[in-house]
Chain A
C-alpha cells in the first residue's frame, strides 16, 4: 500500500507560444518509510511535478492526472482542504533554506507559527515543540537557538532549521528539492544522515529531488529518472546505478567524476519547453538511436522507456 500514488500527471505551463507540456504523463509511488529519489537535469520537470501535487504551479498552468494520498486525490483538493494537507501532511524543503526562512524573524517565531496554526498549540506548548524539533535535527543549544535569527547560523544549520520547520506538524511525506546542492560535502553528509535517520526513527517518507546520483546512491531506495518531462527509467537504486538500462541514465552516470573512467559528458543539451523532439525525446543525443526512435514515443515498460535497451544488445 503506497502512501502516495501519482498516475498520468501532466503539467502544462503557459509560455509565449501558449501552453506547453513541462510534465507529460508521469506516474510514481512513494511507500511508507521509503526514500524515493528523483533524478534528472534542470528543466526536466522533476521539481514542477512535485509542486503540482501541492497546487504550487504558476498561475495559468494546467494540471491533470491523479495523486492518491491518504484516501483523497491531491489534484482535486482546493482551498482549505489543500492548505490542510500542505504543510501538515506533506512538507517541502528547498535548495536555498533562505527561501523558507524569514531573515527578520527569530527562529522561535518561525518554528511556532505554523504548528500553532495547524495544530492549535498554545504559545508555550508551541515553543516546547520548536525546541524539540531543533533537537531532532541536532541544532546545538535548541532553547538558545529559538531567540536567534537565520543569519546567525551557517548554511548547513539553516538547512537543518528549514527541515525542522517542515517537520513541525509531523508530516507523513517530506519533499526535499536539491536540499544539499548548495552545501559543502561535509555538511551534505550530515543532512543526508539526518534524512536517513528521520526515515528510520520517525517513519518519514521522503521524495529527494537531485541531479546528484552519488547522493541518491547513498540514501534512496528507489529512483525515477526524468528526461524532458517524462520518466525514462525507474527501479531499485542499486540496480539503476550498477546496471543502468536507459542510454540517458548511462550518460548521466558516465558524466559523473569517478575513478575508473574520466568525465564523459552527454553531447548536446536537453530540449527546452515546447521544443521536445518527436518520438523518444532523447533520440537526438542518443548513440543507440535508430530510425524508429524519431517516430515512436517509448512507453515505460518494466521500468524502462526504451525499446532498444542497449544493455541487452551490447
Chain B
C-alpha cells in the first residue's frame, strides 16, 4: 500500500501563441510509508512540475495523484483539505518559502496547530540544531543553511506522513549541503516520515534514498532500489547520468559525455523520448513508445527489456 501513488500523471502549461507544453507526460511513481525516494533527472525534465502536482499546487491535465488513499485536489483559495494536511513540502529557496515579516516561532507554531501534537516550537528548533531563542527572531537573521533548518522544522512540526522536498540543498554552500541532507534524512527516519527527495545531484540521492526514480522529458523511465539501480542501470539514460558523475577517486578519469540537450517538451521526439540521444537506440525506438516493464521491485521503460524476464544492466 503506497502512501503517495501517482498514475499516468500529465501536466501541461499553456503558452500564448504556442502549443501547450506537456512538462509531465504520463509519469508513474509511488512512495511507501517511511520510504525515502529520490527523483533525479536533468533540468527541464519535469521534476519540479511533478512535485507541484503531488502537492496540489498545479492542476493535472490527466492522470491521478492519491495521497493516503484519497485523491489530491488542486488547492484554491481555501485552506488545504484536512486529508492532505499530513503532506508537507520543503522548497529549494528558503529565502522565498519563509515569511520574512513573521517571527520564526510564529511560523513553526502555525504548523504545530495543523495537526494535534504534543511538541513545542522550542523542541523543534532544538531538533534541527538551532537554539530555542531563534523563535523570537526573523528569517533574515539566519544564513541559508539555517533557514533551510527552519523550513525543515516547520514541515516536521505539522506531523506529516510525507514530505516532498524539491532541490532542498541545491541553493546551499557545499559544506552546508551534507549537513542539511543528513538532518532531513535523520529526522524523516526517526519520525517515520516518507520523503520524496527531488535533486539533480545523483551522488546525494545515491547516498540517502531507499529507492531512486529517474525522470526524462516528462516520464519516469526507471525506478528501483538505489543500490541496484546504480550498480546495474537498466535504462540507457540512467546509465548515462551515472557515467557523467565525476568521481573523487584521484584517478584522473573524465566523466562520460551525453551529447545533445533535453529536447523541447512542446515537441517531444516520437517513439522513445530518449532515442535521439541514446547510444544504443535501434530502429524500433524511433516509432514505438516503450511500455513499463516490471521485474521484482524494478521498473523500466526501454525496448531492450522484455516483460517477464529479468532486467539486465545497460552500459
> Which B241-287 residues have a C-beta within 8 angstroms of A?
241, 243-259, 261
Residue of B nearest to A153 (CB): B261
State whether B178 touches A241 (Cβ < 8 A).
no
Minimum Cβ distance to chain B for residue A73 (Å): 33
Minimum Cβ distance to chain B for residue A242 (Å): 4
CA gap between A25 and B244 in the complex, in Å: 37
CA gap between A212 and B247 in the complex, in Å: 10
B42 touches A (CB below 8 Å): yes
A61 neighbours in B (Cβ, 8 Å): none
Residue of A nearest to B230 (CB): A259
State whether B175 touches A41 (Cβ < 8 A).
yes
CA gap between A259 and B200 in the complex, in Å: 18
Chain B: interface size category: 35 or more
Given that A42-B173, A265-B175 are known contacts, is A218 also in contact with B247, CB under 8 Å in the complex?
A: yes
A211 neighbours in B (Cβ, 8 Å): 173-174
State whether B246 touches A212 (Cβ < 8 A).
yes
B182 touches A (CB below 8 Å): yes
State whether B244 touches A185 (Cβ < 8 A).
yes
B246 neighbours in A (Cβ, 8 Å): 185, 188-189, 192, 212, 214-215, 217-218
B175 neighbours in A (Cβ, 8 Å): 41, 255, 265-266, 269-270
Flag A197-222 by CB within 8 Å of B: 1 or 0 each: 00000000000000111111111000
CA gap between A264 and B186 in the complex, in Å: 13
Residue of A nearest to B249 (CB): A217
State whether A154 touches B261 (Cβ < 8 A).
yes
Residue in A184, A237, A242 whose Cβ sees the most chain B Cβ within 10 Å: A184
A155 touches B (CB below 8 Å): yes
State whether B241 touches A186 (Cβ < 8 A).
yes
A240 touches B (CB below 8 Å): yes
> Which B114-130 residues have a C-beta within 8 angstroms of A?
none
Residue of B nearest to A240 (CB): B250
Given that A155-B43, A186-B241, A265-B182 are known contacts, is A253 also in contact with B202, CB under 8 Å in the complex?
A: no
Give 13 new A-B contacts, CB below 8 A, not counting A186-B240, A218-B254: A157-B261, A185-B202, A186-B42, A186-B244, A190-B257, A192-B246, A211-B173, A214-B245, A240-B250, A255-B174, A263-B182, A263-B207, A265-B175
A219 neighbours in B (Cβ, 8 Å): 252, 254
CA gap between A213 and B182 in the complex, in Å: 20
Residue of A nearest to B174 (CB): A211
B303 touches A (CB below 8 Å): no
Q: List 19 A-B contacts (CB under 8 A).
A: A41-B173, A154-B261, A156-B261, A185-B202, A186-B257, A188-B244, A190-B258, A192-B254, A211-B174, A212-B246, A215-B246, A217-B250, A218-B253, A218-B255, A237-B250, A253-B248, A258-B248, A262-B207, A269-B143
State whether B42 touches A184 (Cβ < 8 A).
yes
Residue in A184, A186, A193 whose Cβ sees the most chain B Cβ within 10 Å: A186
B206 touches A (CB below 8 Å): yes
B179 touches A (CB below 8 Å): yes
